[in-house]
Structure 1
């Protein structure tokens, strides 16, 4: 049937034209004259319609294939050469659209149709006479629909190229894909194959996003303007472990959607091998390159998130050959790419493959905001790291530490606006009805069904993008008015508030102290060092003051002493402050020598206990910061903006 589908495109389009998209009745086709002079055969076909069964006979030969004759009559065969049953195309079209709204269930629809026809007096012979043949006809009719859409798109691409529409911005890759589509139209005997866009094959760098991305989301990648000054586009990443597929002994025949959004398995395998080969060792420093949060805080976030643990088994590979899906969506909830996961946990190479594919399809000067629930360590994206701004999805941000939220919460990052990064969650919800069906169907059928669902959601969402923009614009205006009112009520300048926020971020992201076996010795050595620095600075300041007080001093020395004196005094004050804190940590204030305490077990336990206390205090403060907004919102909702009873009693 794969080789027959391309030959049915023109008969099907002719049928749509004659019946005005199946609105009119199909005229009885006139007898086609045989031109091959071969012996024809008579074939009897059972026709299934909405309301009746009927038997028709067709003369078939080499020049009059049965599939083309049936499509011309508004029917679709269950087999390419010798079909015993054909189904009304209107009925197949209805069921195809129905299965985009509910979970596909060929058995239920076939049994219902069989009982409906039996109630009208029609009887089909055999046990389960309709299910297999109806399912086959439905499957290949869907392939015909998608092949026809691809054929029309290729004609539009060729026409656009021939008319030189926006010729100055069309990249070489789009021209090549259009020419390939044009050449495939000339020979319909060959099955039409989809060629995935590969920007690396272009001789010139892209000046705008690829045609693939422009088709995926015209708002993000269409036109000539970018989204904001800070970011050119915003995308979100997430995985869904409810979309599994049971392990089967054999795979169904290969079947690829003409507009598939799945990254090829070979590309994913390459990234998996690359990550396993060059995985960097754990850094010994406090901060990892390109990140603003200490590794200690990132480790706490990683331990608090199940998704961040790539070794955790969320789906057993003993029972499932496909354990999950990972998607890359734009800020308008439109799928850009999907990847089929086969590992028990959420491994890093899947996200890397998705982002690498994205950067291959955008210009070199574009910057991208990436929202991910566990976006913490991206050392493998060194080539793109300077063009990426990371943030955490809003819903998942509250599972991270307060320091991580201060830096990576999208509401606290420039350029992200009101993007929440939860488009993947909404997409998983929209395809949740397919969980049961996709778990038991064939491997390639599963991918094809998901591609069809993505195309359906795209077509539905495209008509609502205008309302989406209006809704987001209104929400942004409301948020801006609230922010201006809060700033005005604070009676502080915006610059002062920004400075205070920067100071809080610096304080929250400071690496916390660690416990150590030699903590006491290190603390004593640090106190001794600070004491020596203090004495040295005091001595230097005294010498400079002597120069200033000397009446016979050289004017040059006098001026130099005045310049250096102020800086040394500031250094001395800072050193005294640090020394005072170190002495308080040791609990031995006003002592001149600390060396005898270097090996003290008491001092060692004291320093470690202090480090633990600081960590606990920071965790409590972070939890308080997280709960404050929730409690305030709850009180506001409960009392409708009025004072709470507790506050009223306190005032009374």
Structure 2
């Protein structure tokens, strides 16, 4: 299995995701994949999600360990710089509907969610009038929450995003006020929502959550990272936006860079470093997405509605292919066989194009010519060492025959030549030791030696294991340092 085949295969798997998406045009409604019409029948994540991120949703066994809190981690964030002006120089007149697939949730679905949220809020306020309100001096913990109401009120007041009445982008000048994205922990785009109201309304995030629940099994547990995750959970429990069976599967946390703006009790409960199951996920993948899209802010500010969505779709598709290629390059020299075969047999067939088992796939990654390549490098090094030695001897002969005119420059030149010669000798010695041959061995005669092939492959595996252990040590040190700071 060659790296080139892996790259093209994974990119094809990534690009196939757009075949399952639906357009945001007026002629389509819903946007769910055909196998999500009855979510109760889902035993695995939908094909759309599996094509979006095989690492999160692929494989035959998506369930994590029993003691793990979540099975998949996603993050939500909004961007108010991706706006569109009203009537930008007559662009609406030449704005044809987008005929291609789209990562945007249809506007009809978002509108339906907005109506549903307003209906739930009205019912919740009616129920609240019948309940005896506690005194102002009495602090309380609301049902299902682990943070006092006074703390949540403080977080809501301190965050502009939580204050839905404050206008981040005025609808008087802008028809589209921003974007909201749902990404997995590998920063792969799942869905986008086009925001048309002032402020970060909760129905946008709820529309993304609803879309996700339609594509995953009923017993799949989700870790959700959101800048105001505490406020979203509070509203969800208070106004009953979705059934309790869905709420019980979601575990909320706050994105790392925004956690320190919350009240201290809220940080203790919702910080991802203090929550079980979130590991080192920081929830800031959306920030990288907004950074990659910032070049489109100016042109899309004066574009038409469908033109804007079309350009964003193309850019997201390009970023997905680029990130997939980068991931393959990152893992190709590390542990790609294990990672790809862990994804599942269906993805492995799509990637590798081979029906063999994992042992055969791993064997293909073992280079049959590694020893011969190393021998060729050693032979080239020997030639280079000989050339450097000849250069040093010629300089010494110049000094002996009194042909040196500038002594200071000559001393620098010969010192540099001797240093390069010594460095090459040391490199040659290390390569010979790694190959396991003596100085008298005839390297040309060792080409094709089976023992040397096995030795070089074992050395490569040993090096990878050592690097992985070193990386693991650094990860554990970060966790221990954060724990010591918390305890101290």
> So what's the TM-score if we normalise by structure 1?
0.44
Q: Secondary structure at the match of 2:142?
A: coil
Q: Does 1:454 align with 2:290?
A: no
Q: Does 1:273 align with 2:88?
A: no
Q: Secondary structure at the match of 1:431?
A: helix
Q: Does 1:381 align with 2:377?
A: no
Q: CA deviation at 1:201?
A: 2.0
Alpha-carbon contact 1:352-1:381 (below 8 Å) kept: no
Summarize the alignment of residues 252-331 of structure 1 with structure 2, pairs less than 5 Å apart: 252-256=94-98, 258-279=100-121, 280-281=124-125, 284=133, 286-331=140-185
Q: Does 1:206 align with 2:35?
A: no
How many residues are matched?
Answer: 312
Residue deviations 1:279-324 (CA, integer Å, cap 9, x gap): 1236847223332111110110111111111110111111100001
Summarize the alignment of residues 567-646 of structure 1 with structure 2, pairs less than 5 Å apart: none
- Greater gyration radius: 1
Summarize the alignment of residues 94-173 of structure 1 with structure 2, pairs less than 5 Å apart: none
Q: CA deviation at 1:204?
A: 5.8
Q: Distance in 2 between matches of 1:369 and 1:360?
A: 16
Greater relative contact order, per chain length (Cα 8 Å cut-off, separation 6+)? 2
**Pair 481,215 (structure 1): closer, same or farther in 2 beyond 3 Å:** same
**Pair 455,406 (structure 1): closer, same or farther in 2 beyond 3 Å:** same
Q: CA deviation at 1:199?
A: 4.3
Q: Distance in 1 between matches of 2:327 and 2:470?
A: 14
**Pair 484,439 (structure 1): closer, same or farther in 2 beyond 3 Å:** closer
Q: Distance in 2 between matches of 1:192 and 1:486?
A: 49
Q: Secondary structure at the match of 1:340?
A: strand
Q: Secondary structure at the match of 2:41?
A: coil
Q: Distance in 1 between matches of 2:470 and 2:312?
A: 33
Match of 2:256 among 394, 399, 424: 394
**Pair 317,473 (structure 1): closer, same or farther in 2 beyond 3 Å:** farther
Q: Distance in 1 between matches of 2:94 and 2:262?
A: 42
> So what's the TM-score if we normalise by structure 2?
0.58
Q: Does 1:480 align with 2:476?
A: yes
More helix by share: 2
Specify the alignment match of 1:107 in structure 2: none
Q: Distance in 2 between matches of 1:427 and 1:474?
A: 30
Q: Does 1:347 align with 2:186?
A: no
Alpha-carbon contact 2:31-2:106 (below 8 Å) kept: no
**Pair 476,412 (structure 1): closer, same or farther in 2 beyond 3 Å:** farther
Alpha-carbon contact 1:199-1:360 (below 8 Å) kept: no
Match of 1:235 among 74, 80, 88: 74
Q: Distance in 2 between matches of 1:270 and 1:192?
A: 14
Q: Distance in 1 between matches of 2:179 and 2:40?
A: 34
Alpha-carbon contact 1:252-1:445 (below 8 Å) kept: no
Summarize the alignment of residues 1-40 of structure 1 with structure 2, pairs less than 5 Å apart: none
Alpha-carbon contact 2:29-2:106 (below 8 Å) kept: no
Q: Could you list the runs of 5+ residues in structure 2 that have no partner in the other structure?
A: 1-11, 135-139, 335-466
Q: Secondary structure at the match of 1:370?
A: strand
Match of 2:276 among 414, 417, 431: 414
Q: Could you list the runs of 5+ residues in structure 1 that have no partner in the other structure?
A: 1-148, 158-173, 181-190, 491-624, 630-652
Alpha-carbon contact 2:168-2:199 (below 8 Å) kept: yes
Q: Secondary structure at the match of 1:464?
A: helix
Q: CA deviation at 1:231?
A: 1.0
